[in-house]
Amino acid sequence: MALPGFDFVVMGAGVAGLRAAVELADHGRVLVVTKESVAESNTHYAQGGIAAALSGDADVALHLEDTLGAGDGLVYRPAAAVLVVEGPLRVAELMEWGTRFDRENGKLLKTREGAHSLPRILHANGDATGAEISRSLVAFARAQKGVEFAEWTTVTGLLERDGVVVGVELLDHGGASRRVGGRAVLIAAGGAGQVYSDTTNPAIATGDGVVLAANAGAPLADMEFYQFHPTALSLEGAPRFLLSEALRGEGAFLRNDRGERFMEKYHPLLELAPRDVVARAIAREGMGDKPGENRPVFLDMRHLKGIDLHRRFPGISAFLANYGLDLERDPIPVRPAAHYMMGGIRTDLDGRTTLRGLYAAGEAACTGVHGANRLASNSLLEGLVFGARAAKAMLSDGLALFESSELENPVSHAGEAEEAAVERVITRLRKAMWVHAGLLREESSLQEGLQTQKACAHELKNLAKGKKASRRLTEARALCTVAEAILHSAIARRESRGAHYRNDFPVHDDCRFLRHSVFRKEGTGQPSITFEEW
């Protein structure tokens, strides 16, 4: 069944997709597609806050410097300038639309996080900033006449006519496929933390959007740079729950199993050093004397006086209480987990990909704004700023409407691939990525990871032959291609920079690598990597 025509299709209901939908609403019918409910996104789980330089020009200039510094030489300066200059306007707009950030005596509360030179992080309900932004943006978008939501619906394909993206193929919860046309498609489908066995990301974060674009011929950039958050809960039987950087912003110490603070060995900013530095320090402190031995590392807030930690961090406190832990009483065991994809679909500053009709914004996109390492709390801001800009470009590019009625029905296949077999492939791939393309990398291990990725891709191809595209199969293929892009990019970057650390090339090589890696799938499906200046 064809849906009535939409002017714009937005893949994703996180901060980037929602912000874009609001911008588009007055200019036609907008369909926002999301794999689960509108509340299930990385945006919803964001804890610490959103960075915005609200204190005037000096703050804006410092925010730019902090962003450039964290990105380790690879931030595309024009993108970062757009982020910090437009950020305060977008955040003010968000408040007008109903987002309630925490205040004291009417004044906005601001906290500081790693590698920020001053407190500029706004937060909501203590440590539930993303949920508040998501709640208010969903409500505001729903109130716009032009916006409709398709929840529990997976985008499984992009539709192209003569090299122009003209719509998407959808799979609903009941297993029915349909095609929807439009003037333009925005990929705002978030990151791919699920490519690693250890991640803070929810199950929806499988890189589907990035892979749809790559398969259609759009280049991906900076895919070797995956940010590992230093402090996810490390407790047998518990999920890798994030312990926000704001805890260290409020003064938490990191201690090894001998009770020693160790960050002074690694960086002058101690616990507030850039994330990659802290994550590697924890990994090193956690290594035992024998291979594979793990020693616990702790986040310790017991020394903090004059702050009610349960009130400041209600969500984290409630989660820890389920496991008998208390921020005020206990050192909390932590270790790093995959958290944020700095790379993504290469776009210009207005969300344009190289394909006409296809745009990208948010974590799925790579404008170069984060370089080799994202500054804490810059990604919610990125979604707002570049979501709005992408929508403006979709409106101004003068694209023709492609009616859904012009699209033939999808080919229907017999049955679905065996889910248990698909699940086994996913588990194998995720473990291999954690071991071979995690925090500390080297040539032989990355090559081993690539062999496993190839075997997984081969297995999935066989499992998919003549079968319907289920959601899980779509996700498995996406994870496999994301893994391929990360591995090839990480192998090619024979230096260490930002979140990408090579034991065999432990220092920068500015002569060869002060450039962005670009991953392309050629017509034959063969991957290629080049290094390019922007």
Ligand X SMILES: Cc1cc2nc3c(=O)[nH]c(=O)nc-3n(C[C@H](O)[C@H](O)[C@H](O)COP(=O)(O)OP(=O)(O)OC[C@H]3O[C@@H](n4cnc5c(N)ncnc54)[C@H](O)[C@@H]3O)c2cc1C
Asked whether position 36 contacts ligand X by CB under 6 A, the answer is yes
Asked whether position 41 contacts ligand X by CB under 6 A, the answer is yes
Minimum CB–partner distance for residue 64 and ligand X (Å): 17
User: Among 21, 50, 124, 278, which residue sits at the site for ligand X (rule: CB under 6 A)?
Assistant: 50
Q: Which stretch binds ligand X (CB under 6 A): 104-112, 202-210, 219-227, 425-433?
A: 202-210
User: Among 379, 445, 452, 489, which residue sits at the site for ligand X (rule: CB under 6 A)?
Assistant: 379
User: Among 189, 210, 277, 338, which residue sits at the site for ligand X (rule: CB under 6 A)?
Assistant: 189
Ramachandran category for residue 368: left, alpha or beta (phi over 0 → left; psi -120 to 50 → alpha): left
Q: Which stretch binds ligand X (CB under 6 A): 268-276, 307-315, 358-366, 516-524?
A: 358-366
What is the rounded distance in angstroms from the CA atom of residue 365 to the CA atom of residue 370?
11
Asked whether position 334 contacts ligand X by CB under 6 A, the answer is no
Asked whether position 385 contacts ligand X by CB under 6 A, the answer is no
Asked whether position 204 contacts ligand X by CB under 6 A, the answer is yes
Minimum CB–partner distance for residue 426 and ligand X (Å): 15
Minimum CB–partner distance for residue 90 and ligand X (Å): 13
Planar angle of CA 383, 197, 464, nearest 5 degrees: 90
What is the rounded distance in angstroms from the CA atom of residue 336 to the CA atom of residue 240?
9
Q: 190 near 41, Cβ under 8 Å? A: yes
What is the rounded distance in angstroms from the CA atom of residue 189 to the CA atom of residue 363?
8
Asked whether position 71 contacts ligand X by CB under 6 A, the answer is no
Closer to ligand X by Cβ: residue 133 or 399: 133
Asked whether position 343 contacts ligand X by CB under 6 A, the answer is no
Asked whether position 380 contacts ligand X by CB under 6 A, the answer is yes
Asked whether position 353 contacts ligand X by CB under 6 A, the answer is no
Q: Which stretch binds ligand X (CB under 6 A): 34-42, 96-104, 247-255, 280-288?
A: 34-42
Minimum CB–partner distance for residue 35 and ligand X (Å): 4
Closer to ligand X by Cβ: residue 185 or 325: 185
Asked whether position 452 contacts ligand X by CB under 6 A, the answer is no
What is the rounded distance in angstroms from the CA atom of residue 191 to the CA atom of residue 168?
19
User: Among 8, 10, 21, 48, which residue sits at the site for ligand X (rule: CB under 6 A)?
Assistant: 48
Asked whether position 21 contacts ligand X by CB under 6 A, the answer is no
DSSP state of 409: P
Closer to ligand X by Cβ: residue 153 or 453: 153
Closest Cα partner for 191 from 205, 202, 204? 205
Minimum CB–partner distance for residue 492 and ligand X (Å): 25
What is the rounded distance in angstroms from the CA atom of residue 529 to the CA atom of residue 436?
19
What is the rounded distance in angstroms from the CA atom of residue 164 to the CA atom of residue 94?
33
Give the amino acid at 525: G
User: Among 5, 6, 9, 12, which residue sits at the site for ligand X (rule: CB under 6 A)?
Assistant: 12
Backbone φ and ψ of 176, nearest 5°: -85, 135
Lookup: tokens for 456: 């997984």
Asked whether position 340 contacts ligand X by CB under 6 A, the answer is yes
What is the rounded distance in angstroms from the CA atom of residue 242 to the CA atom of residue 162?
45
Asked whether position 147 contacts ligand X by CB under 6 A, the answer is no
Active site residues: 275
Asked whether position 24 contacts ligand X by CB under 6 A, the answer is no
Closest Cα partner for 259 from 297, 288, 287, 223? 297
Closer to ligand X by Cβ: residue 63 or 255: 63
Asked whether position 43 contacts ligand X by CB under 6 A, the answer is yes
How many other β-carbons are positioned within 10 Å of the β-carbon of residue 457? Answer: 18
Closer to ligand X by Cβ: residue 208 or 450: 208
Q: Which stretch binds ligand X (CB under 6 A): 11-19, 63-71, 159-167, 250-258?
A: 11-19
Ramachandran category for residue 351: left, alpha or beta (phi over 0 → left; psi -120 to 50 → alpha): left
Q: Which residues contact 332 (CB under 8 A, 6 or more apart)?
A: 233, 243, 298, 299, 300, 301, 320, 325
**Rg of the chain over all Cα atoms, to the nearest angstrom:** 22
Asked whether position 208 contacts ligand X by CB under 6 A, the answer is yes
Ranges of H-type helices in 333-418: 379-396
Minimum CB–partner distance for residue 319 and ligand X (Å): 11
What is the rounded distance in angstroms from the CA atom of residue 394 to the CA atom of residue 400?
11
Asked whether position 345 contacts ligand X by CB under 6 A, the answer is no
Minimum CB–partner distance for residue 494 and ligand X (Å): 28
Planar angle of CA 57, 60, 63, nearest 5 degrees: 150
Task: Collapse the DSSP code of 533 into the 3-class scheme (helix H, G, I; strand E, B; otherwise coil) and give the result.
Answer: coil
What is the rounded distance in angstroms from the CA atom of residue 366 to the CA atom of residue 214?
13
Minimum CB–partner distance for residue 202 and ligand X (Å): 7
What is the rounded distance in angstroms from the CA atom of residue 115 to the CA atom of residue 306?
24
Binding site for ligand X (CB under 6 A): 11-17, 33-36, 40-43, 45-50, 129-130, 154-155, 188-190, 200-201, 204-205, 208-209, 242, 340, 362-364, 377-380, 383
